[in-house]
Structure formats: structure tokens, C-alpha cells
Structure 1
């Protein structure tokens, strides 16, 4: 039986009276590339933060690779997951944030080897070899010894991508990874993500406001509104011929602003 790589099964998240996610059902297949779009406050980033267990869920179950992430099996029942269970399932997931979140006191190389050595038990030699390959892949082979303060925003974001890939994830999450960048640096980061999509068999989930990139890169686009998926479909269908009025309004506003 083929399980979806990611499944949100009636997942809800509330802050007091504010419903951030409203009984979300979402399946993402292995190797699928999905872009999430929508206005601020629609629940987009919350989806990614829940997958990284940076946010607790209030209802429902999140599954990763056929295993519950937020829960674990106890006999025939599902009970809230232990920290050890969460760590094990979450080890399949890498995330790149809007802000680069690099360790400022570590070089690009050190940023990329810290977690593989500490969390995966990788030898330093193996971790350094892997990090060097990844930094080369993101076009930063000559910047291995540089500290974040000496790198441009685009270079820092590319180090952050290499650092996430160093953990050998099966799933990569990207949260508005170009929104903190100067416009001329956006292209270099998107090109790296394109290459990752071509060269690695990864399931990729991206929150983005880059509609052109979502159209070109994604297998599916999901438009979130009010904590729910208002509309979803292949990029050309959803972006060129949206069926829902709210989707039409959002895309019109985004394209006008662009």
C-alpha cells in the first residue's frame, strides 16, 4: 500500500478564538512538489511549522511516510507522541526559513556539519565531504570558510539550503525563502531550488509569493484562505483559470502588485 509522504488528517490549530487551520485535509505524494499560496493569516506557514513540530496541533493527526508524526501507536490506539518518536519521524524533514537562521559564529562549512555530526552521528570527515559537495551544488564552494556576516543574503540562504540537505531529508520545506532577499538575489536562490528538484528525489512543500516560480516548479498549487484549502490544482489551471472568486481576487491583487 502506497502511503502519501505527507498527510494532514482533519488537522486544526487555534489561538483562542482565532482558527488558524480549520480541519485541514491534505495529502502530498512521494516526490510531489506543492506550492502553497494565499493571503497573510491564511495558515500557510502554520502548515510547515506543524510539520517541523514547531507548533502543536489541537485536533487531527499529521502523518509522514505512513507514520504518525504528532501521535504514536499504543496497541490499537493513537496517543500523543513522545519527544523521541517526534525526533525520529521529524528527522526525515528539512526546512529552510524566511530568515536564514545560520549560526553567526560558525563558517558556512561549520553550519553544514554541526547537525549531521551531533544528530546523525556522522564522522567529521564524512560530514565535511558531504557539506563540501552540497556547498558546491549551491554554488558556494569558495565560501566554505566564510562566516554569515561576510556573505550576501542570497549566499546565506543558499548555505541554509545546503545545511538542511546535509541531514539527508526525504521532505524539504521552504517558507517564503526569497522574501527577505533583495530582488536581484531572488533568482540565484530559486535556481538552487530548481536544481534540487531536478537532482534529488525529494517531496517538496513551498510557501511562496513567487507566482511565476510556483507555475514553473510545482506539480500542484494550493490556495489557502481562512485556514482551509479554498482551491487546488495543476499550476496552469489554478493560476490561469481559478474557479473560486476568492482565488481570483487574490491572484488579481498579487499580479497587479507585481
Structure 2
């Protein structure tokens, strides 16, 4: 059970965050991956999460997508609890039906695209709106074609993923996620499987999303230049907590914490 004074049934007010991690802890056995994490992300904010392997970065995204359950705390999306649901005046762990409903607010693009191989680019983008949102095929097609055009893939709409390059597949994956009209978009290492010359085209697509949709975005990345270019805020994770955070130029140009300095120095040497 969640106590109502610490975890309200709903976040209200004009300044409520789009995403809130409130005292979130995630363990795998004796290993604590997220340690009493508190993180607010404002509507329309673009936050990049960086840090060494095992620091909890991807777990942030996986718990937001409800791919992982949390052990303590509560995650809120658009003011409403995601991991819990109201019952009898308090919050209890959410059941699968409640989470399915809440998850329609969130879209995710994975490192390895995860497109349906037996479907064309257009069919990939239509499937969710038809099956989950209940759109007619005509409505879903119109929405899918608009989004494929926006990411520069309308000429490839009838191609299967196997006929597309990595950058093209990633752009289709972004269009597919957007077809569900999410309020929050999650990107997990979306450029790491791409050739360097292709990273720019995916970056440009994400920039376009920022300008055309008031999307809230969280992105895990090892590409420091990508994070610097596209973020409003960068969070450096270490040991399941936010060690340091701030605007990208400030955090990357003049980090205050020793662990942040060591990490950024090691990344620079690796490049």
C-alpha cells in the first residue's frame, strides 16, 4: 500500500510534471539498480540519461514502459499513477488492465528497432492504432502515411524491414511509436546500432518531433554529441541515482562531481 501523504492519488496544478519518479527503487535480488530515485520531467522537456553500464539508465525506461515492476515508490505519468492505481482511497499496485490503459500515453523506440518483419513499413505503423486504439483502417492509414512522410520514409512505405537500412528502420520505428499519439517518447540507444553518417538523419527526425509535437522525451544514449545537441537537460546516473544533472553545455563542459568528470573523460578518450 502507498501512503497518500507521500504519494497522492493524482498530481494536480499547472506545474505538475509529465513524468515523476517518486522514491523509486528497483532491485534484482540483492542488486539495487534504481536506488530511491526522484526525477521530474516537465511537459515538452527533452532529458538525456548518460552514465556507465549498470548505472540504471535503461531500467528507467523499462520501468516507464512497465516492462519491469518496481519494488518501492511510484511512477506518475501526466499526473496519474502508472505503477499503482486508486482503490478505496489509497494506491495499490496496478493490475494489467490499468497499466495497458496508462501505457497508451508512452511510446518507445528500441536500440534494435523491433519492427514486425512480416509487415511493410506502412503496416507496422497502422497495426497499433487499429488493434489498440480502435481506429478504422482508413484513419490508421492516413495517420501512418502522414508520419512516414514526416520522417522521410513515405517512398518506402511498401517495403519490409529487411529491405531497409538501419537508419530507415529506425525512422519507421519512430513513426510507428508516434502513430499511437503518445505524450511521452522514450529512446533507448537509438543511434548506437547505426553508422556514423546515418546518426545525423535520425537526429534531425527527433529534432523535428521536438518542434512539431509537444512531446516529452527521455533518451538513454552513449553518444555525448547527440545528447548535447538535442537535450534540455542531461542526467548523469551512477549507482542507480542521479549523481549530477544540468543543461548539456554546463554538465558536459564543466561537470562538478568527480564521478561525472571521470566518466566524461573516459568517453572522450574512447572517441
Q: Deviations over 1:75-124 (max 9, x none)?
A: 22110111111111111000000011000000000000001000000010
User: In structure 1, how many angstroms separate the alpha carbons of the residues matched to 2:34 and 2:242?
Assistant: 10
1:127 counterpart = 2:140: yes
In structure 2, the residue matched to 1:90 is: 103
1:39 counterpart = 2:52: yes
Q: Deviations over 1:161-193 (max 9, x none)?
A: 000000000110000001111222211111111
In structure 2, the residue matched to 1:230 is: 243
In structure 1, the residue matched to 2:200 is: 187
The number of residues matched between the two structures is 258
User: In structure 2, how many angstroms separate the alpha carbons of the residues matched to 1:166 and 1:52?
Assistant: 16
In structure 2, the residue matched to 1:170 is: 183
Q: Deviations over 1:16-59 (max 9, x none)?
A: 11111101000011111100000111000000000000011011
In structure 2, the residue matched to 1:58 is: 71
SS of structure 2 residue aligned to 1:54: coil
For structure 1, the residue ranges without an aligned partner over 5 or more in a row are: none
In structure 1, the residue matched to 2:93 is: 80
Q: Deviations over 1:124-167 (max 9, x none)?
A: 00100110011111111110000000000110011000000000
Regions of 4+ moved over 6 Å: none
1:67 counterpart = 2:80: yes
For structure 2, the residue ranges without an aligned partner over 5 or more in a row are: 1-12
Could you say what the CA RMSD is over the residues aligned between the two structures, in angstroms?
0.8
Alignment of 1:134-213 (within 5 A): 134-213=147-226
SS of structure 2 residue aligned to 1:122: coil
Bigger mean CA offset, 10-19 vs 45-54: 10-19
SS of structure 2 residue aligned to 1:120: coil
Give me the TM-score of the superposition, normalised by structure 1. Answer: 0.98
